[in-house]
Copies of this chain bind each other. A is one copy, B any other.
Amino acid sequence: MDNVTIKDIAKALNLSTSTVSRALRGSYEINAETKRLVMEYAERLNYRPNPIALSLKENRSRAIGVIVPQIANYFFSQAINGIEAIAYNRGYHVIIFQTHESYEREVVNMQQAVSRRVDGLLISLSSETSDVTHLRELQDQGMPIVLFDRVSSELNATQVVADNFKGAFEATEHLIWSGRRRIAHLTIPPYMSITQERLAGYRAALEKHGIAYDENLVRYGTFGPDEVGPMVDDLLAQNPRPDAFFTASDRLAAGCLGALQKRKLRIPEDVALIGFTNMNVAELLSPPMSTVVQPAQEIGQVAVERLIELIERKQKAAPPSVIKIPTTLIARDSTRTVVE
């Protein structure tokens, strides 16, 4: 890799590096002929400014750190997709870190990102994280931070999330409209922000339609393997049996679907099923499961846009706004009559 530098061009054209630099940047105070000469030669040699030298000079890396629980996950890979698209257009590159749902690794990743001199940080908290002191301290030192999806109100930062409340409300109401009354809710760990919002939406829909909230119908998963089957069994053992399931994640939806099929329950005739998933998973899981689709890509896009804004404005104290991106309900089960 023999990289052309300004110095090479200067030598070849018998100019000084400053002249070449100015010519390349299109400075006004340069002779048109010289400028042309430099430009042409640079073009011919396929000159590209060295971003590392630039970073050193400008004291910024043009890199954005993205910390997520894991990449190999539809939601996050789509979010990263959105982040990547915007970031590249704005001249930033993206460095990805995975916490694997570990608080410790989240802290280490954060330090790594700082060591790498990222210009800003985009974070989706690990499920283990309840204390966000590490982030607050970093923020206090002037690092622009935007949270997305897995957020925390403990932090005075911009937060970009799906409209979990509304999505859960609509999902639950969809089930109610199709005649369901005993709606089970399979969800993720209770202390997470998104869990609470979805649970609130679920309860609000029940309440609106005069259905009593029954905590026995709610189960919390732990991201562990083989946990969904027993949860479903447990719920089905109740009398009366649940007539619908509302699941809060891809894995819970798939697990629940599998468990119900294994028990020879017809969907949606015996039990209705609706899941909080995202577009790709919705494609894979066949009807007749309905889905509330998360705007993963858009969440990523909006989050990175906000972050870049912060970085470039050097606003240290951002107004701690919460941006909610709407979800989309895709109904695939209209077996029973809709009861308004």
Contacts and interface: CB of A to CB of B under 8 A. Distances in A.
Interface of A: 1-3, 48, 50-53, 55-56, 61, 70-74, 77-78, 80-81, 84, 88, 93-96, 98, 112, 114-117, 141-143, 250-251, 254, 257-258, 261, 280-281, 283-287, 297
Nearest to A94: B96
Contacts of A93: 95, 116
A81 B76 CA distance: 12
Contact of A56 (B53, B71, B77, B283): B53
A81 B74 contact: no
Contacts of A297: 72
Nearest to A285: B284
Given A52-B52, A143-B1, A286-B261, A98 B72 contact: no
Copies in the complex: 2
A61 B72 contact: no
A254 B71 contact: no
A77 B72 contact: yes
A277 to B, nearest CB: 10
Contacts of A61: 52
Contacts of A112: 88
A72 B81 CA distance: 7
A143 B1 CA distance: 6
Contacts of A72: 74, 77-78, 80-81, 280, 297
Contacts of A84: 71, 96, 98
Contacts of A55: 52
Q: Which 4 A-B pairs have the closest CB atoms?
A: A77-B77, A72-B77, A72-B78, A254-B284
A74 B73 CA distance: 8
Contacts of A283: 251, 254
Contacts of A117: 1, 3, 50-52
Given A1-B142, A72-B297, A73-B77, 8 more contacts: A71-B77, A72-B77, A84-B96, A88-B112, A250-B284, A258-B286, A258-B287, A284-B284
Contacts of A50: 56, 117
Contacts of A143: 1
A283 B55 CA distance: 44
A54 to B, nearest CB: 9
A52 B48 contact: no
Contacts of A251: 283
Nearest to A115: B48
Given A71-B80, A81-B71, A261-B286, A51 B2 contact: no
A285 B255 CA distance: 10
A157 to B, nearest CB: 16
Nearest to A83: B71
A198 to B, nearest CB: 21
Contacts of A142: 1-2
Nearest to A144: B1
Contacts of A78: 72
A261 B257 CA distance: 15
Contacts of A280: 72
